[in-house]
Amino acid sequence: MTILFYIIFAISILVFLLRRRALDFFTFLFVVTVYYCIPLFTGILYDPNSHEIISISPLAYFFYAIYFLTLLGFALLTDFSSHLVIPSRHTKFYYRSYANILFYLSSFFFIVVLMQNPKFMIPSDLDNDLTSLGFSYTLFVFSSILLLLFSCLSDSRLLTTISSFYILTTLSAGSRAYFSHALVCVFFYIGSKSKSFSFIEKPRFLIVGLFSFIFLFFFKIAYPFLLALDFPSLFKALTNFEEISQRSFQWSENFAVMLNLNYSLVNLSPDINFQYFPTFIVSSLPLISDFVGDTFGLDVYSYSSILKTSVYQNVSYGMASSHYGQLFYLLGQTAFVAPFLFFSLVFVLNKLTMSLRRDYLFLVPFLSATVVSYLRVEFSGLLYFFSAYIFLYLLVRLFHHVFLESNL
């Protein structure tokens, strides 16, 4: 199984590096997945609960072999069916109306969040819990990302500057994830204006991507000291190569996600876990999971809660979850078909976004969030992203119809 993974991974690397293709979401998925599968090349994981080094299950190699093979297959299918996409010929004015509406929406949500917590952009300490701001903060961030996309497409420097400021506030608040979502949207925009190319021909995309990753990696280390304006400690932390090494491997997010996936595979059941199924359904409902759980008398808990209770009792800090770990826990061996279903959906959504039609572009930030987060969040997280963008789409369409279309 290990050799099979290495062979398929090597073929995938060659195809994505050498083949001329559009900068689409399959490319983004490939790059992100390479990061998350790095632990497979070490073959070992550090268990923070037992403080022991454990071996990675051969099933993890088998799963990622299936994963990369499926990813490669759908990426090539996208290339061979490119004639099915008719790119939009609309001018920048076609996107300007949506950009204007999103400016008012994002500014409104920005004011709402400021009223809830005037210091959310630059918190006084690390206990800045953005989740306490509720759905309004999510709508502020997601509408800002949409504003960035539509302002770029409409060639509005003013709105691009405003949306960039809004997104940078999430970084100053300590959240790298939302900034990463916006970054993928920017790459999508750049790719939409470029012809097919290989990374060997245009290595600057790889260089910019690598620089962005390095920046976000060191930002996490530097953030507490920047918040306290403690520059001597900041310099010491950035030059502490032992701690940087531990953050790169032992304490890194990709190793934590692989650890959670490995746990599910080591304890893999051949059968579906029907006992967990109702909890999985209810806990995956965005915004109303607690209400539905209370109504029907069901316990609402996540897969990460199961890991915390059963595996990481001695770990005081939060552990990343695992989307596929959750599916293996729920579906048993049946979950090996999950990559095929996932990439089938991405194939369809990717085709829609490549048309650059206004209504389909609301899928771009959702796909960006999915690309960045889906391996480390659970199914409920993906549905939460989707519900937020659908809500914003309906709002924009409503305002567009009331204030613009009705006046035509």
Q: Is residue 375 situated within a structural domain?
A: yes
Q: Is residue 123 situated within a structural domain?
A: no
Token duo for residue 288: 């109303």
Q: Is residue 337 situated within a structural domain?
A: yes
Question: What's the CA dihedral at 349, 352, 356, 357 to 10 degrees?
Answer: -120
Q: Is residue 163 situated within a structural domain?
A: no
Residue 397 to residue 383: CA distance in whole angstroms: 21
Which of 341, 398, 299 shows the shortest CA–CA distance to 71? 341
Q: Is residue 20 situated within a structural domain?
A: yes
Q: Is residue 21 situated within a structural domain?
A: yes
Number of domains, the chain: 1
Residues 29, 299 contacting (CB under 8 angstroms):
no
Q: What is the pTM of this model?
A: 0.88
Give the per-residue pLDDT at 408. 47
What one-character-per-residue DSSP string does 302-323 give?
Answer: -HHHHHHHHT-TT--S-----H
Residues 116, 133 contacting (CB under 8 angstroms):
yes
Angle subtended at Cα 88 by Cα 353 and Cα 405, rounded to the nearest 5 degrees? 95
Q: Is residue 202 situated within a structural domain?
A: yes
Residues 167, 144 contacting (CB under 8 angstroms):
yes
pLDDT per residue, tens digit, the chain (408 aa), is: 788 999 999 999 999 988 888 888 999 999 999 988 989 998 888 887 777 888 999 999 999 999 999 999 999 998 888 655 555 556 677 788 899 999 999 999 999 988 888 877 777 655 555 666 778 888 999 999 999 999 998 888 999 999 999 999 988 887 888 888 899 998 888 887 777 778 888 888 888 888 888 888 888 878 877 777 777 877 787 777 777 776 666 667 888 888 888 888 888 888 888 888 888 888 888 877 877 777 777 777 778 888 887 777 776 555 667 788 888 888 888 889 989 999 999 999 988 888 888 888 899 988 898 888 888 888 888 888 888 899 999 999 988 888 766 554
Q: Write out the residue range of the structural domain in which residue 254 sits.
A: 2-87+195-399
For residue 203, the tally of other CB atoms under 10 A from its CB is 12
Q: Is residue 339 situated within a structural domain?
A: yes
Task: Please report the beta strands in 133-276, taking only residues with DSSP state E, as ranges in sequence order.
Answer: none
Residues 12, 73 contacting (CB under 8 angstroms):
no
